[in-house]
Amino acid sequence: MKVLGIAGSMRRNRNTDALVGAILDVMTRIEPSFEADVVHTADLDVHPCRVVCHEAHCSVERFRCSISDDVGGVLDRMVEADALILAAPQYFRGPPAGFHTLIERLISMAYFHETAGHPAEGSPLLGKPCGLVGVCEYSDPQLILEYLRDVCALLSMNVVQLRTFPYLGVGAHGAVDQDEVFRPLDRTAELATGLIDAARAYRARGTA
Ligand SMILES: Cc1cc2nc3c(=O)[nH]c(=O)nc-3n(C[C@H](O)[C@H](O)[C@H](O)COP(=O)(O)O)c2cc1C
């Protein structure tokens, strides 16, 4: 089985990466057969959706885009994975532009195809289990977790929630090893076990 983390920070080896790494560590410790991989959006060549080209491209064929960059490769890795982790820090009230540009492209392709009259059921991301990580410093990580939940809704993926606060996913406020409110490092273990169960069920179903 495969799990893919998408780490949306522009900085390597900081809070977002630490939480994605902690979740993947627990998953591979519990289930050594899991292949863990991480996409760092800071390393990607990703361009914004052009929108005006959709009638000749993604409206006709789902996830076919007129732009040649790294989005197609990331999508292929998402489709191959049995579980995903979407992780983003907050930059000026929203996610980093590099992360959101990737998300905008993925959602645009799915949206234009569906609104051109094709059924949503054909999506290769339908029902994909997805854990969420939202990181901030002085704001509320709930904002980023809600943004990530909407991303999953727009891509027809299933959010793997926590049974404990903040429920939607791992939230972090400030340095992850000092946050006594959101307790992000404790929550990574809970999310990891939830993702393992969801990935097994997803694989057993063979689809959504
Ligand atoms: C450009 C920039 C903008 C930021 N804007 C916010 C913000 O609006 N609210 C907030 O709580 N933290 C903000 N922060 C702090 C980051 O969310 C915080 O440092 C987080 O840990 C960054 O993730 P990283 O450690 O993985 O790089 C900002 C940081 C940067 C670099």
DSSP string, 16-53: HHHHHHHHHHHHHHH-TT-EEEEEEGGG--------TT
Q: What is the dihedral angle through the alpha carbons of 35, 17, 123, 160, rounded to the nearest 10 degrees? A: 90
| pLDDT in the model for residue 51 | 96
| pLDDT in the model for residue 119 | 84
Nearest to 21 by CA among 36, 35, 8, 34: 36
What does each C-alpha distance from 1 to 26, 30, 47, 76, 81 come to in angstroms? 15, 13, 30, 15, 7
Per-residue tokens: 48? 């914004």
Q: Do the Cβ atoms of 190 and 25 come closer than 8 Å?
A: no
Residue 131 Cβ contacting ligand 1 at under 6 Å: no
Nearest CA to ligand 1 atom 20: 136
What's the whole-number mean pLDDT along residues 169-176?
Answer: 96
What are phi and psi for residue 97, nearest 5 degrees? -60, -35
Does the pLDDT at position 66 exceed 60?
Answer: yes
Average pLDDT value for the chain:
96
First to last CA, the chain: 15
What's the whole-number mean pLDDT along residues 95-122?
Answer: 93
What's the whole-number mean pLDDT along residues 12-35?
Answer: 97
| pLDDT in the model for residue 178 | 94
| pLDDT in the model for residue 123 | 84
Residue 50 Cβ contacting ligand 1 at under 6 Å: no
Does the pLDDT at position 208 exceed 60?
Answer: no
Does the pLDDT at position 110 exceed 60?
Answer: yes
* Per-residue pLDDT reduced to its tens digit, 119-146: 877 788 999 999 999 999 999 999 999 9
Cis peptide before 166 (omega within 30 of 0): yes
| pLDDT in the model for residue 206 | 81
Q: Do the Cβ atoms of 34 and 4 come closer than 8 Å?
A: no
> H helices then E strands: how many in the chain?
5, 6
| pLDDT in the model for residue 149 | 98
What does each C-alpha distance from 114 to 27, 41, 48 come to in angstroms? 34, 26, 20
Q: Which of 65-74, 75-84, 94-103, 111-120 has the lowest mean pLDDT?
A: 111-120
What are the sequence ranges of the domains in the chain?
Answer: 2-205
Residue 91 Cβ contacting ligand 1 at under 6 Å: yes
Per-residue tokens: 36? 């863990």
Best CATH choice for the domain 2-205 from the list 3.40.50.360, 3.40.50.720, 3.40.50.10420, 3.90.950.10: 3.40.50.360
In this prediction the pTM is 0.97
What's the whole-number mean pLDDT along residues 72-85?
Answer: 98
| pLDDT in the model for residue 127 | 95
pLDDT band for 207, please (50, 70, 90 cuts).
low
Mutational pocket test of ligand 1: of 13, 40, 136, the residue with most ligand atoms within 8 Å of the beta carbon: 136
Nearest CA to ligand 1 atom 22: 89
Share of the chain above pLDDT 70, in %: 99
